[in-house]
Amino acid sequence: MKENYNVVTLKGTPLILLGEMVSEGKIAPDFTATDNTGKEVRLSDFKGKHIIITSFPSINTPVCATQARRFNIKASSLGDDIVVLGISRDSQEDLHKFCAAEGIKSVVTLSDRKYGDFGERYGFLVKDKDILARGTVIVDKDGEIIYAEYVPEITDEPLYEKALEALENHLLHNKFTLKPLPYAKNALAPYISAETIDFHYGKHLQTYINNLNNLLDGSPLKGKPLKEIILHSEGAMFNNAAQVFNHEFYFETLSPTPKTMPQGALMEAIEERWDNFENFKKEFSAAAISLFGSGWTWLAKDKEGVLHIIKSSNAETPLTAGYTPLMTIDVWEHAYYIDYRNRRAEYIDRIWNLLDWKTVEERYAGL
Ligand code: MN
């Protein structure tokens, strides 16, 4: 069996790891272990889920107990498509006793004692000691290893936060999620009501996100950043991806405590193009009011840094023409119908009270 030196120590004494160590980007080898009832469990039983495998020398030491507990707490908050496997060479009886005493429910505790399969195939088996080394391996739902940590000193704790951060980033890249709003849902009243936020953000945007995730399943664009998906898609994929971008951009432009006027370089650029801010507002509002049907009105800058007011229909976004969007107003009826019924002009007139020019300035500066 392969021997790996200089990877881990036990209280400073070097240990030798046996087997094939794994690394990110590789396909996770399958293995068989037994659960705390003695039943055979294979890694492949959890196919389709994100799997956190946390390996420890023995459950009956304080650090190992902490490790199981920490992942247990986190696992219960991560959702249904994530499973945590805690594995050691403890006997199933010991694991069973420990889990019952500790209330460990969200971690599937496994024993590598009978087969030694995990230790060998993942390089966690410690030579001349009947233990596994400590560490964490995360396998994504396609069976690829996205994180692998062999804790250098076996008495230290694993990097819980780093492991979970890796998983979270991976999840975010592969699946879009509704970002929390940077304000309470009733904070934009009286201009935009909590009920509008419930529908516009909570239902319409959520639906675009769900649709996009469904369309990305099995697509070569899965895992790509949102902007790249927008630039390389058409039809339903484009519509949903662009609507996710447009809405996130819109909700992030709004603030209950906005900076009401631009300053500095942005203000100078606006004055250069439209003489003064009031004039710009008038032209922007006129563009938004006159947009036929559903769509968006944008302030954007081109590659030379020149500002433009752009009208876009449906899901269209200035990104596809190479503009940098700076500010937008959503003029789909669903953005205002609850609060203003059919009075789009009134909605546009009042939403200026929520547009945060500090955010727009930052976008203009490329921050
Ligand atoms: Mn909308």
Predicted confidence (pLDDT) at residue 239 exceeds the cutoff of 80 = yes
Separation of CA 251 and ligand 1 centre (Å)? 9
Looking at the structure, do residues 192 and 90 belong to the same domain, yes or no?
no
Separation of CA 238 and ligand 1 centre (Å)? 15
Of 121, 152, 171, which marks where a domain is finished? 171
Separation of CA 200 and ligand 1 centre (Å)? 6
Of 131, 155, 171, which marks where a domain is finished? 171
Looking at the structure, do residues 258 and 301 belong to the same domain, yes or no?
yes
The predicted pLDDT at position 113 comes to 94
Confidence of residue 285 (pLDDT cuts 50, 70, 90): very high
Looking at the structure, do residues 249 and 345 belong to the same domain, yes or no?
yes
State the average pLDDT over residues 18-23: 90
Q: 126 vs 81, which has greater pLDDT?
A: 126
Looking at the structure, do residues 126 and 251 belong to the same domain, yes or no?
no
State the average pLDDT over residues 36-64: 88
Looking at the structure, do residues 167 and 199 belong to the same domain, yes or no?
no
Domain limits at 74? Answer: 3-171
The predicted pLDDT at position 343 comes to 97
Predicted confidence (pLDDT) at residue 233 exceeds the cutoff of 90 = yes
- pLDDT tens readout for residues 311-351: 999 999 999 999 999 999 999 999 999 999 999 999 999 99
CATH of residue 187: 3.55.40.20
Q: 173 vs 103, which has greater pLDDT?
A: 103
Looking at the structure, do residues 339 and 289 belong to the same domain, yes or no?
yes
Separation of CA 113 and ligand 1 centre (Å)? 56
Looking at the structure, do residues 137 and 194 belong to the same domain, yes or no?
no
State residue 294 phi and psi, 5-degree precision: -95, 145
Looking at the structure, do residues 156 and 20 belong to the same domain, yes or no?
yes
Separation of CA 279 and ligand 1 centre (Å)? 26
The predicted pLDDT at position 172 comes to 65
The predicted pLDDT at position 88 comes to 94
Separation of CA 335 and ligand 1 centre (Å)? 5
Separation of CA 212 and ligand 1 centre (Å)? 15
Separation of CA 204 and ligand 1 centre (Å)? 7
Looking at the structure, do residues 152 and 219 belong to the same domain, yes or no?
no
Contact 45, 32 (CB under 8 A): no
Separation of CA 181 and ligand 1 centre (Å)? 15
Confidence of residue 248 (pLDDT cuts 50, 70, 90): very high
Separation of CA 27 and ligand 1 centre (Å)? 41
Separation of CA 363 and ligand 1 centre (Å)? 21
Contact 240, 215 (CB under 8 A): yes
> In the 3-class helix/strand/coil scheme, how is the chain assigned residue by residue?
CCEECCCCEECCEECCEECCCCCCCCECCCCEEEECCCCEEEHHHHCCCEEEEEECCCCCCHHHHHHHHHHHHHHHHHCCCEEEEEEECCCHHHHHHHHHHHCCCCEEEEECCCCCHHHHHCCCEECCCCCECCEEEEECCCCEEEEEEECCECCCCCCHHHHHHHHHHHHHHHCCCCCCCCCCCCCCCCCCCHHHHHHHHHHHHHHHHHHHHHHHCCCCCCCCCHHHHHHCCCHHHHHHHHHHHHHHHHHHHECCCCCCCCCHHHHHHHHHHHCCHHHHHHHHHHHHHHCCCCEEEEEEECCCCCEEEEEEECCCCHHHHCCEEEEEEECCHHHCHHHHCCCHHHHHHHHCCCECHHHHHHHHCCC
Contact 326, 366 (CB under 8 A): no
Distance, CA of 202 to CA of 204 (rounded, Å): 6
Separation of CA 135 and ligand 1 centre (Å)? 45
Predicted confidence (pLDDT) at residue 175 exceeds the cutoff of 80 = no
Distance, CA of 226 to CA of 241 (rounded, Å): 7
Predicted confidence (pLDDT) at residue 76 exceeds the cutoff of 70 = no
> pTM, whole model, 2 decimals?
0.58
Confidence of residue 173 (pLDDT cuts 50, 70, 90): low
Judged by average pLDDT, the poorest of 31-35, 158-162, 331-335 is: 158-162
Separation of CA 197 and ligand 1 centre (Å)? 10
Calculate the CA dihedral of residues 28, 33, 34, 40 and round it to 10 degrees: 80
Confidence of residue 181 (pLDDT cuts 50, 70, 90): confident
CATH of residue 44: 3.40.30.10
The predicted pLDDT at position 137 comes to 94
Distance, CA of 273 to CA of 307 (rounded, Å): 7
Q: Which residues pair with 85 in a beta bridge?
A: 53, 108
Q: What residue type is 294 in one-letter code? A: S
Domain count, the chain: 2
Both tokens assigned to 118: 């995990």
Q: 24 vs 213, which has greater pLDDT?
A: 213
Separation of CA 276 and ligand 1 centre (Å)? 29
Separation of CA 314 and ligand 1 centre (Å)? 10
Looking at the structure, do residues 155 and 214 belong to the same domain, yes or no?
no
The predicted pLDDT at position 48 comes to 87
Confidence of residue 308 (pLDDT cuts 50, 70, 90): very high
Looking at the structure, do residues 102 and 224 belong to the same domain, yes or no?
no
Average pLDDT, the chain: 91
- pLDDT tens readout for residues 110-155: 999 999 999 999 999 999 998 999 999 999 988 989 888 899 898 8
The predicted pLDDT at position 333 comes to 97
The predicted pLDDT at position 321 comes to 96
The predicted pLDDT at position 102 comes to 76
Contact 29, 53 (CB under 8 A): no
Of 171, 186, 221, which marks where a domain is finished? 171
State the average pLDDT over residues 41-60: 90
Confidence of residue 100 (pLDDT cuts 50, 70, 90): confident
Looking at the structure, do residues 44 and 126 belong to the same domain, yes or no?
yes
